[in-house]
Amino acid sequence: MHLVYPAVLSALLFCTGLYGVLARRNAILVLMSVELMLNAVNLNLVAFDVWLSRTAEETLHSGQALTLFTIAIAAAEIGIGLAIVLAVHRNRGTSDIDKLRDTAEGPDKDGPDSGALAARKADDQAGEKAEATA
């Protein structure tokens, strides 16, 4: 098999994931796009490992070992990322990345006020939710 096929496929998948990370608004969709990019890298690693294990007689199989490590790290990343997204959703009531602009430096001067307002609203929501569950 030509090495070009897996290499081009992985480049295309990586750029698809890049578009998703930049264009999506929901945090979980952004995490899905990150998974796409990681999988593109995995395909590249496996293809080059298969090629090098034949032509260069490389017996370390570093590409496949690194692929396994990437898969494990991606699993850890998705767990932590979802925990963060759920915490943000519980505090703010949204998982919308475009609305999380507390630290943005904009032309509007009411940054601290709106931050305090958001915090108070979050407190109210948390209180309501706790009451509903209690």
Span 76-115, contacts to other proteins by CB under 8 A: 76-80, 82-87, 89-91, 95-98
| Position 41 contacts other proteins (CB under 8 A) | no
For 9, other C-beta atoms within 10 Å of its C-beta total 14
Site for other proteins in 54-73 (CB under 8 A): 54-55, 59-62, 64-65, 67-69, 71-73
Given the complex with other proteins, which of 90 and 102 has the nearer CB atom? 90
In angstroms, the CA 123 to CA 67 distance is 43
Candidates 34-42, 101-109, 110-118; binding stretch for other proteins (CB under 8 A): 34-42
> What's the burial of 111, exposed, middle or buried (CB within 10 Å: 0-12/13-18/19+)?
middle
- Record the tokens describing residue 121, joined without a space: 């609203």
